Structure 1
Amino acid sequence: MTFSKVLIANRGEIARRIMRSCHGLGYGTVAVYSDADRGAPFVRDADEALWIGSAASADSYLRSDRLLEAALRSGAGAIHPGYGFLAESADFAAAVEVAGLIFIGPTPDAIRIMGSKIASKQLMVRHEVPVIPGGKVGEQGDAALLEEAKAVGFPILLKASAGGGGKGMRIVEGVEGFQSALEAGRREAMAAFGDGAMLVEKYLRTPRHIEFQIVGDGQGNVRHVLERECTIQRRHQKLIEETPSTLLEAYPELRAAMAKAAVRAGEAVGYRSVGTVEFVVDARHNFYFLEMNTRLQVEHPITEEITGLDLVELQLRIAAGEPLTLRQEDVKANGHAIECRIYAEDPENDFLPCTGELVRWQTPDDPHLRVETGVESGSDVSMHYDPMLAKLITWGPRRRDSSRRMVRALANTVIAGPKTNRRFLLEVLQSPEWDLGAVDTELVGRMLAGERVALQLETLRAQAATAASLVEALQVDAARAILPSLPMSWRNSRWRPNVAEWTCEGERLQISFTAQGAARFDVVVGDDAALQRRFRAWLAQRYATTEALREAWAAKKGLRADETLESAELLTLPLLVAEGYSKSRRHDSEAFRASERQVVRVVERWEGGLRLELAGHIRRFSVERKGERCWVQCGGEQFVFDAVPRFPEAQARVAEGSCRAPMPGKVIQLLVAAGDPVVRGQTLLTLEAMKMESAVCADQDGVVEEILVTVGELVDADAVLVRLAKAEKSVEP
């Protein structure tokens, strides 16, 4: 069982992570890449790389024949599957061994048994590991599964028997939603794992999700390497993981019982390599086996941070035939570690995956921060693969230390490009629930449903717009070879300010600025809507009643209090009554803008950002611009501005009733035909992107006028898919 070169049958950050350990042990590495990944960082990190197909994973990373051909062609003696793709395919593991190569992972039999949620639950019952009610072996017919759901009792969880990661998983509250959920789950499971078998389990509403890392050598030795808490999730996929678990720190006897159960699970299949036994824990601290992942986990770095072990190195040594020398008593936790997964997704839109160019990617240089990523500035976030951009890992002697370091790391990670969940991760880490360790799997849903911290903070947004405007102006100024004392825009009167106009989240901002020296600017922020809101708030504080306002106005006009005000005058009353405001201004906030004037000093400037002093407060702004879009980040907040052109061209209006693609994807299901009546919210078709399904729904009652796509067609984001004609009256679906 010897090898000197390892082919990594994966991509992105996990391929880079595996390569580090391989190189550390002296193994050569071979990467495989698709058309989409030709210039990716993981390809450059490898000693050599081979092309295996087009961007679609079904034509590249899921092609076992091409992976084996690449291994044999390169002379690799072993294959590491990473996670996802074929990592939990028993057939692939068997094919690797048949080809005379070493599979760095469990045996095909172990993968097959533990990869079936039905078979694995049966095995766990025989080895006295607690399991969730349901999941019995039975027919896969719709009627049989529905009867099983009724027997278990709603709400239930429909799960793909093969694989994990939330793919093929659906919560069903009652009989009426069962059929559509079953069909969607089967499709998603088939697309992700090539197996549409489903099982039914009782759904636990607010459990905690705690897993145990195990390692076995296939020679009878199995150890656990402590737990990881993975309770913070969305769409049944993990967002934040930590170790140790706050619950198990408080209840060490529960930790001991779960650890023993995890080891029994590994022993039941004679486990070889590293793996993870996942449990859910209910409010009464009962724990139940969920599944076993027969691979390296995404969140493995936090275990490495508190134990000092290199889990990939352990995999390599075990694959080479070395016995496990790790003793259970030697496994001890040192400190606390947290992992946050940064995804290209929109938390405001049900965490819908986002695609596009990653214009800028920069993580802070911090000795307490570990970054696992497969992207860099200029990378393309493709619809073909998982939208995870990176994992940030922090360690601290105590939980509060690692949490504080993670907040700082997230706040100072600069991302310009597709929307991400970075800001949402900060919200979770700054929530009272996280601070107390009182979390459950429904926390993310509650945060989205409740009142959240406003993302677009008004004052900071205005400052960010100022930073965007000044960066552009300073760049233009630096590029000029002559007359450097002139203003920076096409206006050349010192007394007429330069003007930059932006839109942000649907609101328009105007920044007027005049140079007062090399690094000083007189700046006026002219956001009409925001200024009027602030003025009304000031007015309400100063004049408690309408009558008080009338009296103030009468005093200014020299009128008696009982004289009638003209309606036109009443409209201008709120602005004109304020002390210090011009008597001749119209109600257009111009007077109030005068109070927003301030001197801004550029303290420091560099490529990609600057420091500004505003009202005695120095802030650092990261600024990235591409085309008409500008990303500005300050601390934990990010603002995306679109420049308003000086001479805008007329734009065509979007036709009412046009249903558009929320993201790039493939049409996998059409649920209506031309002429069908539909109601607002009814699903018209289903898109698949990044291994997840997304429903496209009608935005109004009406009739399907035209369907512009076919099943199997690839569509771009914002493409018109279906056109609806308005109905004369409400219709039933």
Structure 2
Amino acid sequence: MKTIRKVLVANRGEIAVRVIDTLDAMGVESVAVYSDADANAPHVLAAGEAVRLGPAQASRSYLDIDKVIAAAKATGADAVHPGYGFLSENQAFAAALAEAGIVFIGPPTESIATMGDKITARAAVTARDVPVVPGLSRPGLTDADLIEAAPDIGFPVLIKPSAGGGGKGMHRVEDPADLAEALVTARREAGAAFGDDSLFLEHFVDTPRHIEVQILADEHGNVVHLGERECSLQRRHQKVIEEAPSALLDEATRARIGQAACDAARSVGYTGAGTVEFIVSALRPEDFFFMEMNTRLQVEHPVTELVTGLDLVEQQVRIARGEELSFTQDDVTLTGHAIEARVYAEDPTAGFLPTGGEIADLVWPRSDGSAASGPIRHGARIDSGVARGSVIGSDYDPMLAKIIVHGADRAEAVDRLDEALAQTRLTGVVTNIDFCRFVLAQPAVRAAELDTELLDRLVVDYAAPTPTPQALTAAALGGLDLGDPNDLWSSALGFRNGAGSSYVSRLSVDGAAHTVTAVLHSSADARSVAAEVTVESEDAEPWSAHTVLTPRGDGLFALVCDGVQQRWTVRVDPSTPSGEQGRRWVAGDAGTWQVTALRSLADADAEAAAGDVTSPMPGTVVAVPGVDGADVEAGAPLVVVEAMKMEHTLRAPIDGVAAISVKVGEKVSAAQLLAQVAAAEQVSTPLDQQ
């Protein structure tokens, strides 16, 4: 048996908080590590000790093996828990810990090496008769090899990097003519993300569903599975909503796929917690194919915990100590249904581009907002790594938190998740919360008719919710200084004979204009202000209501419109330039919106800006395929920006002459001008002279 009394958590964000939560429950001391960007992050405050690693750049902090091991030694940690991402599947890290005499809470280095390379993984599981997707996978494949093999594999094909996961470097190709260019992009992305640009090719399974099986294996030869998770609701190969169990599988198929997962683990002598991922055709659920094995804890592990009653982090620690599993396969039962939504800092209306900023307000469906790995409280479990005031930048993954619920059956679980999302208040940063609610409301999702392309089809019909008249009223009056109601000179009501004072706000939300006119009156409650409110919006009938606004403190307002009360939070956007009060966030049960003072762009300005190429988010320039001074056609790639581990190719908006103003490696900010295309009839002016 190994001694594990103190564990260093080599990660950040919600997973670090979640691991520390279980360590505390087990009576095990915890050590956090952090970069300069995370000095005051929740995981740092949650741990018993914390050690600075370095600058925000992950390669100089969280990914620096020497610094992490030095931190473990300096604090006397017996073991290291890697979480997921970063060094969690790094063979060199596990080996370095072993050399230093520190326990790695994860599988043997040989298992990581074999399963970390998808080519060798396919070979290993095939030897155990685990079915794999038809394709071409062997070391050293060139682009020419892959292009030659593709017709025999059958289009559509899926390009996959041999190292790493999370959808990075993965591309689906329908047309043979697009394969060569896609391979170039995939190799660049794989090399940047994993330090290995090896690729292989698989046939793309028709109407695919992504189903994965959680396994646990101890050092005594015991391997069990904990049922499956449905992870088909994803975009860009990145999961968004996950659930357990899958509605697709019957009991017989569940037993077969579980056994296949255990065989895959045995094929590499696996120990610890791991996940075996399968692709399953929605048309033929009895047929499943091995995709890969993740040799670590998964982001979506909480749904398995809620249906099995097991704490997977606790099991990881016990296995790492050398303990034998305290239960057998026959003891594992799945109770009810669990579902979770990942909360991302991204804009679904802008192609899910990463966003950022400072979190102005944060209220989860329960009061404390901390991670929890036990019973659900207040109907929802929140695994969160952010707090009010957290600054979300471009250095790390855009996932902020996970909201997880449990129900007696799938329908109840889906309803509870929607309710939990509705109760969440997160302002200051654009998120995907409203999009998740949109997804949950879709008939196909309610009926569990899922596949991995469903979100791509649904997003075509998605638009950010139009703000309700009540939301616009809250945004307009929420910034009103009510002053002292007993002092006519400071009160918002002012002093006048006859009619009350008129307060007019012109607002813009997602480019749509709204006018809120409020005729203010005194109220029976000295803490409130009454108003006759009219809201005029583009493409909508005017709305009017007798309204009473009552501040509750800290940006919270009770708004009663024609007798119906709602609660709203209104906060100034932290990114608003000093001296401006026009940008606000308003959040309520109906949604969350950023509201700004109405601005118009003159026609001449719009025409002059037609050739501008700006960065849609903060990030780093990783490629400049455009040539300064060259003639380009609309759609030609000019600059490639990477943010939060995803690449975004920015293309020429019009025909003309390109002027490139950035170079590879340069950090850029959101809305920064990266290039310009001057139309043929325009006179080009160098960027540095403008």
TM superposition score normalised by structure 2: 0.91
Q: Any idea what SS the aligned residue of 1:72 has?
A: helix
Query: Does 1:126 find its partner at 2:127?
Result: yes
Alpha-carbon distance in structure 2 between the residues aligned to 1:448 and 1:309: 35
From the CA coordinates, give the structure whose radius of gyration is larger: 1
The SS at the match of 1:95 is helix
2:478 alignment partner, SS class = helix
Higher helix residue share: 1
Instruction: Provide the TM-score with structure 1 as the length reference.
Output: 0.86
Q: Which residue of 2 aligns with 1:515?
A: 520
- Over 3 Å counting, the alpha-carbon distance change for 1:275 and 1:648 in structure 2 is closer
Aligned-partner Cα distance in 1 for 2:495–2:389: 32
Match of 1:54 in 2: 55
RMSD: 2.4
- CA drift at 1:486: 4.7
Once residues 118 and 80 of structure 1 are traced to their aligned partners in structure 2, the CA distance between those partners, rounded to angstroms, is 27
Q: Distance in 1 between matches of 2:486 and 2:560?
A: 28
The one-letter amino acid of 2:468's match is R
The equivalent residue for 1:270 is 269
Q: For the residues of structure 1 that align with 2:176 and 2:598, how far apart are their CA atoms?
A: 51
**Deviations, residues 343-401 of structure 1 (Å, cap 9, x unaligned):** 01111122111111111121122621000010011101110100001000001111121
Give distance in 2, aligned partners of 1:101 and 1:486.
Answer: 65
Alpha-carbon distance between aligned partners in 2 of 1:334 and 1:604, rounded to the nearest angstrom: 44
CA deviation after TM superposition for structure 1 residue 496, in Å: 4.0
Picking from 499, 503, 509, the partner of 2:508 is 503
What is the deviation of 1:278? Answer: 0.6
Question: What per-residue deviation string (whole Å, max 9, x for no partner) do you get for residues 669-727 of structure 1?
Answer: 010112212122221111111111111111111111x2111110000010000111103
Map 1:183-582 onto structure 2 (within 5 A): 183-248=184-249, 251-282=250-281, 283-285=283-285, 286-365=287-366, 367-449=378-460, 451-452=461-462, 455-457=464-466, 460-473=467-480, 476-478=481-483, 482-483=487-488, 486-488=491-493, 494-518=499-523, 519=528, 521-525=530-534, 527=536, 529-530=538-539, 534=541
Q: Given residue 587 of structure 2, which amino acid in structure 1 is its aligned partner?
A: Q
Any idea what the Cα deviations from partners look like across 1:163-205, whole Å, max 9, x if unmatched?
1111111111223222222122122222222211111111124
Cα displacement (A) at 1:96:
0.8
Q: In 2 relative to 1, CA 489–121 (structure 1 residues): closer, same or farther, beyond 3 Å?
A: farther
What secondary structure sits across from 1:499 in the alignment? Answer: strand
Question: Identity of paired residues, percent?
Answer: 43
Query: Does residue 698 of the first structure (1) align with residue 652 of the second (2)?
Result: yes
Contact map agreement 1:491 1:498 (CA 8 A) in 2: no
Counterpart residue number, 2:685: none
Equivalent residue of 2:220, what SS? Answer: coil
| Contact 2:610 2:654 (8 Å CA) reproduced | no
- Verify: 1:598 aligned to 2:545, yes or no: yes
- Gaps (5+ residues) in structure 1? 535-592
Give the Å deviation of 1:437.
1.0
The corresponding residue for 2:22 is: 21
Bigger drift between 385-394 and 673-682 goes to 673-682
Q: Is the 8 A contact 2:119 2:138 kept in 1?
A: yes
Counterparts of 1:136-215 in structure 2 under 5 Å?
Answer: 136-215=137-216
- Is the CA contact 2:157–2:204 (under 8 Å) kept in the aligned structure 1? yes
Q: Partners of 1:56 and 1:523 in 2: how far apart?
A: 53
Quote the Cα distance in structure 2 between the aligned partners of 1:687 and 1:481.
56
- Secondary structure at 1:375 match in 2: coil
- Deviation (angstroms), 1:404: 1.0
Count of aligned pairs: 657
How big is the shift at 1:301?
0.7
Instruction: Say if 1:423 and 1:636, in contact at 8 Å, map to a contact too.
Output: no
Give the one of 555, 558, 565 matched to 1:618.
Answer: 565
1:707 and 2:660 aligned: yes
Q: Would the aligned equivalents of 2:349 and 2:464 in 1 still touch at CA under 8 Å? A: no
Q: Distance in 2 between matches of 1:479 and 1:718?
A: 41
1-structure distance, mates of 2:498, 2:171: 64
Secondary structure in structure 2 of the residue aligned to 1:406: helix
Q: Shift of residue 462 of structure 1?
A: 2.5
* Alpha-carbon spacing, 1:491–1:638, altered in 2? closer, same or farther (3 Å): farther
Residues 621-640 of structure 1: matches in 2 within 5 Å?
621-626=568-573, 627-640=581-594
Instruction: Identify the residue that residue 371 of structure 2 maps to in structure 1.
Output: none
Aligned residue number for residue 66 of structure 1? 67
* CA positional deviation for 1:252: 1.5
C-alpha separation in 2, matches of 1:684 and 1:344: 26
Letter in 1 for 2:566: R
5 Å-filtered alignment, 1:56-95, equals: 56-95=57-96
Change (3 A) 1:489 1:335: farther
Question: Is the Cα–Cα contact under 8 Å of residues 117 and 135 in structure 1 kept in the other structure?
Answer: no
Cα offset, 1:57, TM superposition? 0.7
> Which string of whole-angstrom CA distances, capped at 9 and with x for unpartnered residues, describes residues 520-559 of structure 1?
533343536346xx4xxxxxxxxxxxxxxxxxxxxxxxxx
SS at match of 1:14: helix
After superposition, the Cα gap between the structure-2 partners of 1:29 and 1:487, relative to the gap in structure 1 and judged at 3 Å, is closer
Shift of 1:517: 2.1
Shift of 1:146: 1.5
Distance 1:411 1:672 in 2: 44
Q: Note the 1:649-664 alignment, pairs <5 A.
A: 655-664=609-618
SS class of match (1:425): helix
